[in-house]
Amino acid sequence: MASYLRCSACYLAADQAKIPLLRLGDACVPSLALGVAITRVGCFAASCDYGKATDLPWAVVFTQREATRLTGVPLGVPLHPSQLYESALGVVLFVSFLALERRPRRPGRLIFAFAGLYSLGRFLLEYLRGDMDRGFWGPFSTSQWLSLLVLLVFTALYLPPDRAKEA
Protein backbone atom coordinates (compact mmCIF):
# COMPACT_ATOMS: atom_id res chain seq x y z
CA MET A 1 0.00 0.00 0.00
CA ALA A 2 2.81 2.42 0.88
CA SER A 3 4.54 1.92 -2.48
CA TYR A 4 1.23 2.53 -4.26
CA LEU A 5 0.85 5.81 -2.38
CA ARG A 6 4.42 6.83 -3.19
CA CYS A 7 3.86 6.07 -6.88
CA SER A 8 0.59 7.99 -6.87
CA ALA A 9 2.22 10.95 -5.15
CA CYS A 10 5.11 10.86 -7.64
CA TYR A 11 2.70 10.76 -10.56
CA LEU A 12 0.63 13.64 -9.18
CA ALA A 13 3.73 15.75 -8.47
CA ALA A 14 5.07 15.10 -11.98
CA ASP A 15 1.69 15.95 -13.48
CA GLN A 16 1.47 19.15 -11.42
CA ALA A 17 5.00 20.17 -12.55
CA LYS A 18 4.15 19.23 -16.16
CA ILE A 19 6.94 16.65 -16.30
CA PRO A 20 6.13 13.91 -18.83
CA LEU A 21 6.06 10.51 -17.16
CA LEU A 22 8.53 8.93 -19.60
CA ARG A 23 11.07 11.71 -18.97
CA LEU A 24 10.62 11.23 -15.24
CA GLY A 25 11.17 7.50 -15.64
CA ASP A 26 14.34 8.15 -17.65
CA ALA A 27 15.63 10.47 -14.92
CA CYS A 28 15.05 7.78 -12.26
CA VAL A 29 16.90 4.96 -14.05
CA PRO A 30 20.40 5.49 -12.59
CA SER A 31 18.91 5.63 -9.09
CA LEU A 32 16.95 2.43 -9.69
CA ALA A 33 20.08 0.61 -10.86
CA LEU A 34 22.11 1.88 -7.91
CA GLY A 35 19.27 0.82 -5.60
CA VAL A 36 19.50 -2.73 -6.95
CA ALA A 37 23.25 -2.78 -6.31
CA ILE A 38 22.94 -1.53 -2.74
CA THR A 39 19.93 -3.68 -1.84
CA ARG A 40 21.60 -6.90 -2.94
CA VAL A 41 24.69 -6.16 -0.85
CA GLY A 42 22.28 -5.99 2.08
CA CYS A 43 20.82 -9.34 1.04
CA PHE A 44 24.31 -10.82 1.00
CA ALA A 45 25.02 -9.45 4.50
CA ALA A 46 21.75 -10.94 5.75
CA SER A 47 22.42 -14.26 3.95
CA CYS A 48 19.03 -14.17 2.26
CA ASP A 49 18.42 -14.83 -1.45
CA TYR A 50 21.41 -17.18 -1.43
CA GLY A 51 22.70 -19.19 -4.38
CA LYS A 52 22.96 -22.85 -5.26
CA ALA A 53 25.87 -25.01 -4.17
CA THR A 54 28.97 -24.65 -6.32
CA ASP A 55 32.65 -25.53 -6.39
CA LEU A 56 33.75 -22.26 -8.01
CA PRO A 57 36.70 -20.54 -6.35
CA TRP A 58 34.62 -17.45 -5.46
CA ALA A 59 31.91 -19.45 -3.69
CA VAL A 60 30.83 -18.13 -0.31
CA VAL A 61 30.24 -20.15 2.84
CA PHE A 62 27.82 -18.96 5.51
CA THR A 63 28.59 -20.08 9.07
CA GLN A 64 26.22 -18.24 11.42
CA ARG A 65 23.50 -20.43 12.93
CA GLU A 66 21.22 -17.43 13.24
CA ALA A 67 21.38 -17.04 9.45
CA THR A 68 19.98 -20.52 8.96
CA ARG A 69 17.23 -19.87 11.46
CA LEU A 70 16.21 -16.63 9.76
CA THR A 71 16.74 -17.39 6.06
CA GLY A 72 17.28 -21.15 5.72
CA VAL A 73 20.73 -20.73 4.19
CA PRO A 74 22.75 -23.96 4.45
CA LEU A 75 25.80 -23.62 6.68
CA GLY A 76 29.26 -24.77 5.66
CA VAL A 77 28.27 -25.26 2.01
CA PRO A 78 30.02 -23.32 -0.78
CA LEU A 79 27.30 -21.32 -2.57
CA HIS A 80 27.05 -19.00 -5.56
CA PRO A 81 27.05 -15.44 -4.23
CA SER A 82 23.89 -14.74 -6.24
CA GLN A 83 23.24 -11.57 -4.25
CA LEU A 84 26.59 -10.16 -5.35
CA TYR A 85 25.97 -11.19 -8.96
CA GLU A 86 22.77 -9.14 -8.93
CA SER A 87 24.56 -6.29 -7.18
CA ALA A 88 27.15 -6.33 -9.97
CA LEU A 89 24.32 -6.24 -12.51
CA GLY A 90 23.01 -3.12 -10.75
CA VAL A 91 26.45 -1.47 -10.87
CA VAL A 92 26.89 -2.28 -14.58
CA LEU A 93 23.44 -0.88 -15.34
CA PHE A 94 24.14 2.21 -13.20
CA VAL A 95 27.40 3.02 -15.00
CA SER A 96 25.92 2.26 -18.41
CA PHE A 97 22.87 4.44 -17.90
CA LEU A 98 24.92 7.29 -16.46
CA ALA A 99 26.92 7.26 -19.68
CA LEU A 100 23.76 7.17 -21.81
CA GLU A 101 21.83 9.72 -19.78
CA ARG A 102 23.20 12.79 -21.54
CA ARG A 103 22.79 11.50 -25.09
CA PRO A 104 19.78 12.60 -27.12
CA ARG A 105 17.11 9.92 -27.24
CA ARG A 106 13.44 9.27 -27.54
CA PRO A 107 11.67 9.83 -24.17
CA GLY A 108 11.26 6.57 -22.32
CA ARG A 109 14.23 4.85 -23.90
CA LEU A 110 16.19 4.59 -20.63
CA ILE A 111 13.33 3.37 -18.44
CA PHE A 112 12.28 0.81 -21.03
CA ALA A 113 15.88 -0.32 -21.56
CA PHE A 114 16.37 -0.62 -17.80
CA ALA A 115 13.19 -2.67 -17.43
CA GLY A 116 14.26 -4.97 -20.26
CA LEU A 117 17.88 -5.40 -19.22
CA TYR A 118 17.14 -5.84 -15.53
CA SER A 119 14.37 -8.33 -16.31
CA LEU A 120 16.66 -10.34 -18.55
CA GLY A 121 19.47 -10.29 -15.96
CA ARG A 122 17.11 -11.26 -13.16
CA PHE A 123 15.61 -14.07 -15.24
CA LEU A 124 19.07 -15.56 -15.84
CA LEU A 125 20.30 -15.05 -12.27
CA GLU A 126 17.33 -17.00 -10.94
CA TYR A 127 18.96 -20.17 -12.32
CA LEU A 128 21.76 -19.71 -9.77
CA ARG A 129 19.49 -19.10 -6.77
CA GLY A 130 19.26 -21.78 -4.10
CA ASP A 131 16.51 -20.49 -1.83
CA MET A 132 13.43 -22.48 -2.72
CA ASP A 133 10.89 -20.41 -0.76
CA ARG A 134 10.55 -17.81 -3.52
CA GLY A 135 7.96 -19.95 -5.29
CA PHE A 136 7.77 -21.81 -8.56
CA TRP A 137 5.07 -22.16 -11.14
CA GLY A 138 5.89 -24.80 -13.70
CA PRO A 139 9.44 -24.61 -15.02
CA PHE A 140 10.15 -21.07 -13.77
CA SER A 141 10.30 -19.25 -10.46
CA THR A 142 7.82 -16.51 -9.68
CA SER A 143 10.58 -13.95 -10.33
CA GLN A 144 11.27 -15.45 -13.75
CA TRP A 145 7.59 -15.26 -14.71
CA LEU A 146 7.47 -11.63 -13.55
CA SER A 147 10.66 -10.89 -15.49
CA LEU A 148 9.15 -12.35 -18.64
CA LEU A 149 5.96 -10.36 -18.13
CA VAL A 150 7.84 -7.09 -17.60
CA LEU A 151 10.04 -7.79 -20.61
CA LEU A 152 7.03 -8.46 -22.85
CA VAL A 153 4.97 -5.52 -21.62
CA PHE A 154 7.77 -2.98 -21.80
CA THR A 155 8.85 -4.25 -25.22
CA ALA A 156 5.29 -3.99 -26.52
CA LEU A 157 4.92 -0.48 -25.09
CA TYR A 158 8.21 0.76 -26.43
CA LEU A 159 8.34 -0.66 -29.94
CA PRO A 160 7.23 1.87 -32.51
CA PRO A 161 3.85 1.16 -34.10
CA ASP A 162 3.91 -0.73 -37.37
CA ARG A 163 4.16 1.85 -40.16
CA ALA A 164 2.25 -0.44 -42.54
CA LYS A 165 -0.86 -0.27 -40.33
CA GLU A 166 -0.77 3.53 -40.36
CA ALA A 167 -0.72 3.75 -44.17
Tell me how far CA of residue 90 lies from CA of 36, 54, 140, in angstroms: 5, 23, 22
Q: What are phi and psi of 77, to 5 degrees?
A: -110, 125
CB 93 within 8 A of CB 111: no
What is residue 69's predicted lDDT score, i.e. its pLDDT? 87
Q: What is the mean pLDDT of residues 140-159?
A: 84
DSSP E strands: which ranges in the chain?
Answer: 136-137, 140-141
With cut-offs at 50, 70 and 90, classify the pLDDT of residue 28.
confident
With cut-offs at 50, 70 and 90, classify the pLDDT of residue 22.
confident
What is residue 61's predicted lDDT score, i.e. its pLDDT? 95
Q: What are phi and psi of 147, to 5 degrees?
A: -60, -45
What is residue 84's predicted lDDT score, i.e. its pLDDT? 96
pTM, rounded to two decimals: 0.80
Q: What is the mean pLDDT of residues 15-33?
A: 86
Q: What is the mean pLDDT of residues 86-112?
A: 87
Q: What is the mean pLDDT of residues 40-57?
A: 92
3-class SS of residue 50 = coil
3-class SS of residue 83 = helix
